Amino acid sequence: MIKKIILASLCLALLSGAAFAAGGADKAAAETVVLKMGDNIPDRAAGWGAVIEKINADFKALHPQVQIVTESYQDQAWQEKVKIYATANQLPDVIKYWSFSTLLKPLVDGNFVEPLDMATFQKFGYMAGSLEGNVYNGKLYGIPVSGDLWVIYVNKKLFADAGVALPATWEDVVASVPKFKAKNIVPLVTDGKDGWPLSIMYDNVIQRVTGSFANVDAAITRKAKFTDSEFVQAAKYIQTAVKAGIFQADLVTSDYGASRNLFGQERAAMYLMGSWEMGLAVDPNFSQAFRDNLDVIKFPVIAGGKGKADDLVAWFGGNYILNAKSKNKALALEYLKLYAEKFPAYAWDAQAAFPAQKVTPKATDTIVAKKLLQIAAEAKTTSGTTGLDRSTAAFKEVHQDLMRQLVAGIVTPEAFCAQLDAAAEKASKE
């Protein structure tokens, strides 16, 4: 009996020794480093996603032992994931995240973000003010990747079908509703489920009423109140326009992908979104006819309002940040530097995105790209960071919630403003 036990244990010991040795040998042979990334760009075959894949391929050529694994979700889903990952301390090495004061700052405060060296990145041709927007307590916490302009994409063919001219004022838009409806075309679409496009629209309408971008900031810093007349007027204007039918019927349940698809499938004449969607002009998922008829116009003005079309809502967005708790920090930093170096040229070549860095326009640029450059050049004033991103994360959520309720007709403009003001008050105390 005892002999059997000794023999068994000996065999076991030998086997485990062999397994360890083999495992060790394996380890020494293929030291593949996995670099984990995350972003909100699920489409990797076209547009921005394809540009990133190209950069990834370049990186792999420089660092053959690295394997890049990327997780991508739509906007809101990605935000949720980042929060879940942060809670479980499982953030990827490099992530695309944005909106410093509301989304990034909690991560920075939680020591999840690695500070970057400003001097290193300044040589990549960033536009004035772009890097500075990510500086907190004197440290740079992320690199901005896009210059975001708030515009309206239009499908010229649908306008021609309905016999409508491109709108210069919001009154034009409202007037065009019956003509579009007669042809079964949705006049305007945007992502109403997530709410932030509506919040940005609110900012923009306020400016069109008052002629200044300073009002929103004043209300947030409590030098003014959201219950002041200009804010109520802007809210009322939006609610009236929505009731007149300018948006898709299921606005509040259309998420980012759904609204974009409505436009791409040529069911809608206009798409209220940012310059990062310039890739629509080259998106192979949609028909050539759609791409050929795509154009972009400035956010319309309001009749009798003080704001002009050249007052542009624009900010720097889409930051890339480094996970401070990453096990591959040096490699991740190399990746960021490569990204900063390659992104502007690749993105502009592919006509996929509007970088926060300087680009060289070409004759082969799409109409959309040329127009965006023109809109940016003609801008007389710009807004900087939008209102919902100037305060706390809680304020942003309330802002979005209230906008959704406003367009759904659940809340009156007065009540909307009162609740928004209460939220701003609460946020200012934190």
Partner 1 sequence: MRSLFEDKKTVAVLAIPPVAIMLFAIMAPLLVSLYFSFMKWSGFGAIKFIGLRNYVELLTADKVFVRSLLNAVALMLVTIFLQNPVAFAVAATLTRLGEKSSRLLRTIYFIPATLSLVVVTKLWVNIFNPTYGILNKILKLAGMEDIAIAWLSDTRTALWSVIWIMIWQGFGWALLFYYSGLMTLPKEIEEAARVDGANRMQLYTKIVIPYLLPVIQAVIVIDVVSSLKQMEIIYLSTEGGPGFYTQFIAVYLYQKAFKYSEYGYGNAISVVFVLIAVALTIAIQRAFKKMSDE
Partner 2 sequence: MKTNESAIASRAFGRAVMWIFLAVLAAAQIFPLLWVFSYSLQKSGDLFGPEFFKLPVDPQWNNYFLAWTNGRIPLYLANTLLIVIPSVTLSTVLSFCLAYACSRMTWKLQPLVWFIITVGLTIPIHTTLLPNFIWYRFFGLIDTRLGLVISYVAFSLSFNTIIFAGLLSGIPRSMEESAFIDGASYAAILPKIIAPMAATGFATVGVQTFLNHWNEFIMANTYISTELKRTLPFSIIRFQGQYSSQYAIQFACMALVALPPLALYFIFNRWILAGVAAGAVKG
Binding site for partner 1 (CB under 8 A): 76, 79-80, 83-84, 86-87, 89, 106-107, 109-110, 112, 186, 193, 248-254, 262, 267, 393-394, 397, 401, 404-405, 408-411
Cα 421 → chain centroid:
25
Distance CA(202)–CA(403), nearest Å, equals: 8
Identify what 44 binds: partner 2, partner 1, none; CB under 5 to 8 Å per kind.
partner 2
Decide if residue 85 touches partner 2 (CB under 8 A): yes
Q: How far is the CB of 283 from partner 2 (least distance, A)?
A: 9
Q: Which among 53-61, 257-265, 273-281, 310-318 is the span making contact with partner 2, rule CB under 8 A?
A: 257-265
Q: Which of 81, 298, 371, 404 binds partner 2 (CB under 8 A)?
A: 81
Q: Which of 267, 337, 370, 426 binds partner 2 (CB under 8 A)?
A: 267
Q: How far is the CB of 391 from partner 1 (least distance, A)?
A: 14
Own/partner long-range contacts of 245-249 (Cβ < 8 Å, ≥24 apart): 245/177, 245/181, 245/187, 246/173, 246/174, 246/177, 246/187, 246/188, 247/186, 247/187, 247/188, 247/189, 247/190, 247/192, 247/407, 248/186, 248/188, 248/189, 248/192, 249/186
Give 288: exposed, middle or buried? Use CB within 10 Å, 0-12, 13-18, 19+.
exposed
Decide if residue 115 touches partner 2 (CB under 8 A): no
Identify what 16 binds: partner 1, partner 2, none; CB under 5 to 8 Å per kind.
none
Q: Which of 7, 11, 22, 45 binds partner 2 (CB under 8 A)?
A: 45
User: Residues 144, 145, 148, CA angle at the centre, nearest 5°?
Assistant: 95
Q: Which two tokens stand for residue 330?
A: 């040096």
Q: Which two tokens stand for residue 149?
A: 């302009």
Decide if residue 412 touches partner 2 (CB under 8 A): no
Identify what 169 binds: partner 1, partner 2, none; CB under 5 to 8 Å per kind.
none
Cα 208 → chain centroid:
23
Helix (H) or strand (E) holding 197: helix 196-210
Q: Which residues bind partner 2 (CB under 8 A)?
A: 41-46, 49, 69, 71-74, 77, 81, 84-85, 87-88, 90, 257-258, 260-261, 264-265, 267, 285-286
